[in-house]
Amino acid sequence: MALKQSLSQKLEQRLSPQQIQLMKLLQVPTMELDARIKQEIEENPALEEGKEEVEDDFSNEQDTEYDDNNNDDNDFDINDYLSDDEPSYKTKTSNKGKDDDETSVPLSSGSSFQERLKEQLHLRNLSDDDYMIAETLIGNLDDAGYLERDLEAIVDDLAFSQNIMTTEEELEKLLEVIQDLDPAGVGARDLQECLLLQINRRQNGDITRYTAKKILEDHFEEFTKKHYKKILKKLEINDDDLKAAIDEIIRLNPKPGGSLKSSSKSLEQVTPDFIITEQDGKLELALHGRNAPDLKVSRSYEKMLRNISEGAKLSKSDKEAVTFVKQKLDSAKWFIDAIKQRQNTLYSTMHAIMNYQYQYFLTGDETELKPMILKDIAEIVNLDISTISRVANSKYVQTPYGVKLLKYFFSESLSTDSGEEVSTREVKSILSDAVNNENKRKPLTDEKLAQLLKDKGYNIARRTVAKYREQLNIPVARLRKEL
């Protein structure tokens, strides 16, 4: 990490302040660009939103060069800032035009996770102090509904922040009140307690649910490590009894707070930065319309500069005013050009990615994904690798096969026995399919997965298979075993 920070600092030392701002603009995703533009308009009255029509094809737009030299305040041509024509400083849209149907992100209309619990708390018969303590406990729950802080620390917090003197025993009693709220499992200190809170509410005399409770109470470690033979022996039950009890356990929710939180929020949609469509076997690329805002230099500011400059002799205050207005106009022009350069860089980078992975975008077949690293695209578009990294970070593309993160298309390569270069993503896809189709009573070990890949022509070591499996969040074979 220290090395990365050092390299980043060295890069910024080589760039002008305007270039640094441009690099930061490249990192801004589509949904945040609106806010960034509004901020600039609020800070610079010489910049305005405009709706001039655009005729030029965006894809042919060339990068703009900037002059970062600061001239003396009095050393400038007034005609550079005045024009009788309409301002030409405006962005160009993508080759598909500005989107008519803008993707909106619905806002949450429900109450928060903690608020829902507090609403239930109001129905309990508690003293004022107990209610405040219980509210503090709820405020310390994480998003999954767990209380990960020690009660002793919360006792100290209450004493210092609210002047409430209490004990861990009193907190324990109020925590039991919270654990009795819905959904079952909230307020637990760990996974075992969370699952026990839920299974206890389900006890109705059924032997299977009682067995599930005993497994969670007395054999939780064996259960998590899937040492089923030990559980069978200790509880003196058969395979069918154990399977039924485990089925009961896996129906429980390990993150009860998360389910309550998600139920109170509207589903947020991802706004793609790019859109790829297929027409008659050919791919077409467009920037999302929000990446092509209409901006212009304020006419009133230009007129202000003209009026001041037309004076016979400029006073000191007039010169200061001219300098101020000039700075605002310069800033507005630079920002508009920076937005245009952002468009150019986004478009050219995505266009290179689309062409590099053309067969995938046509077919949607993951095996068609070619090995591709940042350097490959940087060389195509003749930009720095750090610039490509900023474009790829947190950006999405809408394809005929779903919305994907740009990072999805980057992967290292490895060679098959035949010498063919393939993407590591292709290997991971084969691993994932193999695990999904394995016999869960006898799941494939890393050694067997490595042999399976070798049989398909991918000569990969067992430790590499283990690395890819972990990257796919696939547990080891023992933890994938089912009865």
- Among 3-17, 53-67, 266-280, which is the least confidently predicted range? 53-67
d(CA 60, CA 49): 24
The number of CA neighbours under 13 Å toward the Cβ of 98 is 13
Residue 235: predicted pLDDT = 93
* Chain segment 129-158, per-residue pLDDT in tens: 899 999 999 989 988 899 988 999 999 888
Residue 212: predicted pLDDT = 95
* Chain segment 365-411, per-residue pLDDT in tens: 877 888 888 889 999 999 888 888 888 877 889 988 888 888 888 87
pLDDT average, residue stretch 338-357: 91
Which region holds residue 70: left if phi is over 0, alpha if psi is between -120 and 50, else beta? beta
pLDDT at 358 over 90: yes
What pTM, to 2 d.p., does this model score? 0.51
pLDDT at 77 over 70: no
Quickly tell me which residue has 């500005």 as its tokens.
98
d(CA 262, CA 59): 41
Most confident of 211-215, 277-281, 307-311: 211-215
Dihedral sign for Cα atoms in the order 8, 9, 14, 19: positive
pLDDT average, residue stretch 419-438: 80
β-pairing, 282-287 vs 402-405, is unpaired
pLDDT at 178 over 90: yes
pLDDT average, residue stretch 466-477: 86
pLDDT at 303 over 50: yes
Angle between helices 316-356 and 17-27 (to 10 degrees): 40
Residue 419: predicted pLDDT = 58
Banded pLDDT at 234 (limits 50, 70, 90): very high
* Chain segment 24-71, per-residue pLDDT in tens: 787 777 777 888 888 888 888 888 876 544 444 433 333 333 343 444
pLDDT at 92 over 50: no
Angle between helices 299-309 and 316-356 (to 10 degrees): 150
Residue 76: predicted pLDDT = 46
* Chain segment 193-227, per-residue pLDDT in tens: 999 999 999 999 999 999 999 999 999 999 988 89
pLDDT at 179 over 70: yes
